[in-house]
Amino acid sequence: EVQLLESGGGLVQPGGSLRLSCAASGFTFSQYAMHWVRQAPGKGLQYVSGISSNGGSTHYANSVKGRFTISRDNSKTTLYLQMGSLRADDMAFYYCAREGLTYSFGADAFDIWGQGTMVTVSS
Amino acid sequence: EIVLTQSPGTLCLSPGERATLSCRASQSVPSSYLAWYQQSPGQAPRLLIYGASSRATGIPDRFSGSGSGTEFTLTISRLEPEDFAVYYCQQYGSSLTFGGGTKVEIK
């Protein structure tokens, strides 16, 4: 079964750091670009960041550029999001998602989503 | 950045009725790289439509997408109880952005 499982969310103080992980299974992870999308409680979806299948290309929303870093370990079939200088408006459910076409980046929709992990930013 | 505006914000309909959801882009979406997602309460989004009009795997044919350029539409021909949810459009032709969502609720 194709599956994405996020972990690493939790409570962090403003200005703090957190690393999210997304463990993939059931497909050839190294062939697909991966992305992070977030959703504040009761709000809509917001694109955060993406990374190409081999990790050579990355993309960030302006709101997180310079504070967040996306990476992947294809040998461990895991996607990461290192978040720093966290603010109250970063508080959200964070979903990882797979881009549908193999070896594409930013050229297809997201066909597989994880269940999300909650990040709470509060003192 | 391409801004996507969805309308209406909320659609109140009865089971069996037809739903028409709109997604308008602030500039033309390259290659009709426009997707629609469904999100039920407490669930992750689910891909319905990609490339403006292609149904994703396992999506019933009561869901259809149309449009190009700056105007796109998601149509649900006959609403089933499980279709009452929030729907988002997304463009992936120029960076990646989502619309604000349309909630389809039971009348």
Q: What does the alpha-carbon distance between residue A12 and residue A123 come to, in Å, rounded to a whole number? A: 8
Interchain contact B59–A (C-beta under 8 A) = no
- Residue A74 Cα, gap to closest chain B Cα (Å): 24
Is the pLDDT at B19 greater than 90, yes or no? yes
Residues of B in contact with A46 (CB under 8 A): 98
Q: Which residue of B has its CA nearest to A58?
A: B95
Is the pLDDT at A110 greater than 90, yes or no? yes
Q: What was the pLDDT predicted at A32?
A: 98
Residues of A in contact with B45 (CB under 8 A): 37, 45, 95, 97, 110, 113
Residues of A in contact with B21 (CB under 8 A): none
Q: Torsion angle of alpha carbons B25, B30, B32, B34, nearest 10°? A: -50
Q: Count contacts between A and B (CB, < 8 Å).
A: 59
A62-75 pLDDT, tens digit each? 999 999 999 999 99
Q: What was the pLDDT predicted at B83?
A: 98
Q: What was the pLDDT predicted at A98?
A: 98
Is the pLDDT at B79 greater than 90, yes or no? yes
Is the pLDDT at B96 greater than 90, yes or no? yes
Q: What was the pLDDT predicted at A1?
A: 96
A11-56 pLDDT, tens digit each? 999 999 999 999 999 999 999 999 999 999 999 999 999 999 999 9
Q: Do A45 and B92 touch (CB under 8 A)?
A: no
Contact predicate B86/B102, CB 8 Å: yes
Residues sharing a CB contact under 8 Å with residue B85, sequence separation 6 or more, in sequence order: B38, B39, B40, B41, B103, B104
Interchain contact B52–A (C-beta under 8 A) = no
CA B50 to each of CA A10, A33, A109, B76, B83: distance values in angstroms, whole numbers, following the listed order: 33, 16, 6, 15, 18
Residues sharing a CB contact under 8 Å with residue A106, sequence separation 6 or more, in sequence order: A33, A50, A59, A99, B92, B95, B96
If pLDDT is split at 50, 70 and 90, which confidence band does B95 have? confident
Reduced to 3 states (helix: H, G, I; strand: E, B; else coil), residue A53 is: coil
Choose, out of B5, B40, B47, B90, the residue to mutate when testing the contact with A (most A CBs < 10 Å): B47
Q: What was the pLDDT predicted at A49?
A: 98
Is the pLDDT at A105 greater than 90, yes or no? yes
Q: What was the pLDDT predicted at A88?
A: 96
Q: What was the pLDDT predicted at B31?
A: 83
Is the pLDDT at B32 greater than 90, yes or no? no
